[in-house]
Amino acid sequence: MLRKAQLKDIKGIQKLLTHYASRGDMLSRSLSELYESVRDFYIFEEEGKLIGTCALHIMWEDLAELRSVAVLEEATRHGIGTRLVRACLDEARELGIKRVFCLTYKPEFFGLFGFRIVDKAELPQKVWRDCVNCVKFPDCDEIAMILDQ
């Protein structure tokens, strides 16, 4: 079942994100950050177990970030990530957001939705809001991608 996240889901979301962050596949998120942004998240669950998550984080009047896309390894390749991303993109359209971006190590996946690779300099809101505080700044190796809706 795909649904908006609730407060009870936050620790499970953090556990899933931390798994991938420990491998260097994504950035970790603190519990406080996750609680503050719970409204950004969708989750996919089966029989009460959190299987995947994805967030749409609004940056500006016409710009949002798709982030924290993660699916349990044993559940990958079953369309769960696709469903989560589509839910976020649908919400972006409903809100009137014209551009959605992501920073990723999986450009092929996001390319399936029409995202295209861009220079990070095209995303100054992200760079100066979040990236400047990242341990990888200024030598970030993630690929910036954007989707014009």
- CATH code (residue 92): 3.40.630.30
**Do the Cβ atoms of 2 and 83 come closer than 8 Å?**
yes
Q: Domain span at residue 16? A: 2-148
What are the pLDDT tens digits along the chain (149 aa)?
A: 999 999 999 999 999 999 998 888 888 889 999 999 999 999 999 999 999 999 999 988 999 999 999 999 999 889 999 999 999 999 999 999 999 999 998 999 999 999 999 988 788 655 545 554 555 655 667 889 999 98
Q: What integer pLDDT is reported at residue 128 of this predicted model?
A: 47
Tell me what pLDDT residue 49 has: 95
pTM score, two decimals?
A: 0.90
Q: How many whole angstroms separate alpha carbon 60 and alpha carbon 109? A: 25
Alpha-carbon distance of 55 to 35, in angstroms, equals 13
Distance CA 37, CA 9 (A): 12
Q: How many structural domains are present in the chain?
A: 1
